[in-house]
Structure 1
Amino acid sequence: MRQNDEETLNSLYNLILDPATREWERSLLSSIKNALENGANFDEQLAKLEADLRPLALRNNLTPNVADFYNHMTGHAAADVSFDFTKHAIDDLTYQDSAIFAGGCFWCMVEPFETLDGIVSVLSGYTGGHVAHPTYDQVSGKYTGHVEAVEIIFDTRIIQYADLVKLYWQLTDPTDEFGQFQDRGSQYRPVIFVKDKHQQQIAEKSKQQLADSGKYKQPIVTSIEPATVFWPAENYHQQFYKKNLTRYKRIERARQQFLTFQRLQSKLRTELSRFTKKQG
């Protein structure tokens, strides 16, 4: 759906003022805004802006809010869907609870949880850092100490926190403290953020059981840390698996191939151990 002229100008103003907008993006947006204010043809200027942004858009290298603007401008409806942040809230203190997990790129952490029965909402965001209102560029640049994570609101009548922890282990590589899969860096380290003693006890017990299982040859390095402020990521990142299905499937496939290989190694190691014991 094409924005009208006034909406487009407002969007340009907001993006220019947005501290998360990169300088080269801001210069392009400012140039178009000035031309429009001076009476330039609207369609021609938008076409020029689309052409200037296209090379970076095709490489998925625009900042999130500029990417949203580009998708809206070009009619990419699926990627332009806005996440309703107001609905991500606990509205029933008796039967709802929340959990926070970090396990690499948050794009691949949403669908597995969101499609479970009893899940109210899953939000991608940043946590564990020391800067308020961090942007994607800041977190990616390792300037804030945050990790990419998901916050899950769930109905305790249908699903329990222990169930979420169990699924979390299946989605991540708990032996890799320097990132997850193809995602490298401290912003991708695996962490279970616990909000209270109850969650901490469940997470620690589950982690110990995993370590005792002998499934992994290397130590379990996933950390369990107190939950801190969870900052929502930009709209572009919310429910990425729905907005950018092709790219999501490619990334998810690579993760699953690694996990499948890892599980096969574990199975072979277990079988070898059993065989050795029998021979002894």
Structure 2
Amino acid sequence: MEATEDEIVEQLYNLIVNPNTREWERYLLTATKNSLTDQVNFKEQLAKLEAELRPLALRNNLTPDVADFYQMITGKKAVEHVVKEKHFISDSVYQERAIFAGGCFWCMVEPFENQPGIVSVLSGYTGGTTEDPSYDQVSSGHTGHVEAVEIIFDTRVVSYRDLLALYWQITDPTDALGQFQDRGMQYRPIIFPTTNEQKVLAEKTKQAVINSGRYKRPIVTEIRPAEKFWPAENYHQAFYKKQPKRYRAIKRERRQFLAYQHLMGNIRQKMAQIKRNPS
């Protein structure tokens, strides 16, 4: 069922006053609202607005409520911005939660989600002070949150130690100001243990990384007790499936950096071994 003109105008007003609407979106919505107030052709103005929003809509980069409005005016079903239905612990004996921050959460989902024993991976925000933060708020770097992933895993199939081993492989533990091309405190690497056992294992693996001699710079990855995890908007979930071409480009840059870093680490270890055993 198509939305009526009155419903569309009402949504325009709501979005203009919505604090989560970006300024660029608000500018376009206000211009459309003013034109409709001046009784300019309704369909023409709506088509113009749709064309102006389309580039970001196609890249899933509209804020959630504006994305829903776009779906409304194009006659498509709006996507509900809810968390994954299956993202909960259904077996308290054999399932645990793990929370890792390691740069943009778009690139932290696939490496874990494709491992055996993973029940669910959710993108979100944690570690800050703002209640129920939005993507734009976290991206500003002023909320104290980091982008992170919350993982529910089956301990009969995969261990927390296995997840830690993967985490150290896909992040740069020497960069406290971001990760790879993602710059800012909201991208810094942090491990958030959810149990004391996880905390002990995280600290042991961090010390092992320090002792390995693979890195020239200090290991700066933090280990902090798990805090409230706020799920990100739905359009951020499973980004690698929704935007495969864009994801592959981002992933390629990360892999190239990590490949070079791991190569240098291998050389560093080999040189240290030669110094210890010159013969």
**TM-score interval, smaller chain:** 0.7 to 0.9
Structure 2 match to 1:25 = 25
* 1:66 shift after superposition: 2.8
1:88-99 aligned at under 5 Å gives the runs 88-99=87-98
Structure 2 match to 1:48 = 48
Residues 61-103 of structure 1: CA deviation (Å, up to 9, x unaligned) = 54344346547766999x9696653321112211211110000
Unaligned runs of 5+ in 1: none
Q: Is the 8 A contact 2:175 2:188 kept in 1?
A: yes
CA shift in 2, pair 1:42/1:121, >3 Å? farther
* 1:39 shift after superposition: 8.4
Structure 2 match to 1:5 = 3
* 1:210 shift after superposition: 1.1
In 2, Cα distance between equivalents of 1:271 and 1:72: 60
Q: Is the 8 A contact 2:50 2:74 kept in 1?
A: yes
In 1, Cα distance between equivalents of 2:69 and 2:122: 21
What SS does the aligned partner of 1:87 have?
coil
Corresponding position: 1:105 with 2:104: yes
* 1:117 shift after superposition: 1.0
Q: Is the 8 A contact 2:176 2:220 kept in 1?
A: yes
Q: Is the 8 A contact 1:64 1:136 kept in 2?
A: no
In 1, Cα distance between equivalents of 2:96 and 2:218: 30
Structure 1 match to 2:266 = 267
Residues 222-279 of structure 1: CA deviation (Å, up to 9, x unaligned) = 0000111101111111111011111111111000000000011111112222333343
Instruction: Give the partner amino acid of 1:91.
Output: S
Report sequence identity in percent. Answer: 61
Corresponding position: 1:85 with 2:48: no
Aligned length: 277
Corresponding position: 1:258 with 2:248: no
1:81-230 aligned at under 5 Å gives the runs 84-230=83-229
In 2, Cα distance between equivalents of 1:241 and 1:106: 10
What SS does the aligned partner of 1:263 have?
helix
Unaligned runs of 5+ in 2: none
Q: Is the 8 A contact 2:212 2:269 kept in 1?
A: no
Q: Is the 8 A contact 1:175 1:220 kept in 2?
A: yes
TM-score for the superposition, normalised by structure 1: 0.86
Q: Is the 8 A contact 1:68 1:236 kept in 2?
A: no
Instruction: Give the partner amino acid of 1:4.
Output: E
The 10-residue stretch of structure 1 (15-24 or 188-197) with the greater mean CA deviation from structure 2: 15-24
TM-score for the superposition, normalised by structure 2: 0.86
What SS does the aligned partner of 1:226 have?
coil
